[in-house]
Structure 1
């Protein structure tokens, strides 16, 4: 695994994921964090965007996935983000964390979340 990483932390989107009917109707905020593992030495040495992953493009892809399709489970949403990143970008591994701050749970909490790590070699 590459020791270097690009981090996108706290990407906030409004979407309609969840198993409850009210979640599909009303929607809620979701927060996505990603870590892209790859060798950043070529980009650092050349100071060249073409030698790395453009995180604006990654952001646009994540936004499209989170807001473009409805998922019942956070696990399915995270898996979709991870697989698309591995398909579209030259990264060795990706970590995806999806947070749901308004999950329909009784009590006080910061968020419910899932975190997955996927690589080109499999889970």
Structure 2
């Protein structure tokens, strides 16, 4: 399988369990990797035959705009939307990082990393 990566998507969002996080927000960084076959795109030179990184960026931005308490929830929903909107994606990985989290201490980031196959999101 072939892989496409979109790294360092920077966003400002309002996720977190604390009320203050929902009011003031913070910066986030998101990395997404998707796997699938791109030989048809190589042969045709057509965007419709590949896993479009513009779609990945849009999905991330749209999901990050909806407030949740847990970054785990947001990351899972981003992967679900990627599989829904991008039929060529067979496997995906996301690393979602909250930069400078409001915890006691000098912490650069906290992150969740999820890896999923398409079948994980199929209706049961």
TM-score by shorter chain over 0.5: yes
Look up the SS of the partner of 1:121 in the other structure: helix
Q: Partners in 1 of 2:112 and 2:59 — Cα distance? A: 19
Of residues 52-61 and 82-91 in structure 1, the stretch that sits farther from structure 2 once superposed is: 52-61
Per the TM alignment, residue 88 of structure 1 is displaced from its structure 2 partner at its CA by 0.9
Per the TM alignment, residue 57 of structure 1 is displaced from its structure 2 partner at its CA by 2.0
Q: Partners in 1 of 2:58 and 2:119 — Cα distance? A: 25
- Structure 1 residue runs of 4 or more that deviate by more than 3 Å after TM superposition: none
TM-score normalised over the length of structure 2: 0.90
Residues matched between the structures, number: 120
What's 2:86 paired with? 89
What's 1:31 paired with? 29
Look up the SS of the partner of 2:51 in the other structure: coil
Per the TM alignment, residue 105 of structure 1 is displaced from its structure 2 partner at its CA by 2.1
TM-score normalised over the length of structure 1: 0.91
Q: Name stretches of at least 5 consecutive residues in structure 1 with no aligned partner.
A: none
Per the TM alignment, residue 104 of structure 1 is displaced from its structure 2 partner at its CA by 1.6
Q: Name stretches of at least 5 consecutive residues in structure 2 with no aligned partner.
A: none
Per the TM alignment, residue 122 of structure 1 is displaced from its structure 2 partner at its CA by 1.9
Per the TM alignment, residue 46 of structure 1 is displaced from its structure 2 partner at its CA by 2.0
Task: Supply the RMSD in Å over aligned alpha carbons.
Answer: 1.3
Per the TM alignment, residue 94 of structure 1 is displaced from its structure 2 partner at its CA by 0.9
Look up the SS of the partner of 1:53 in the other structure: coil
What's 2:62 paired with? 64
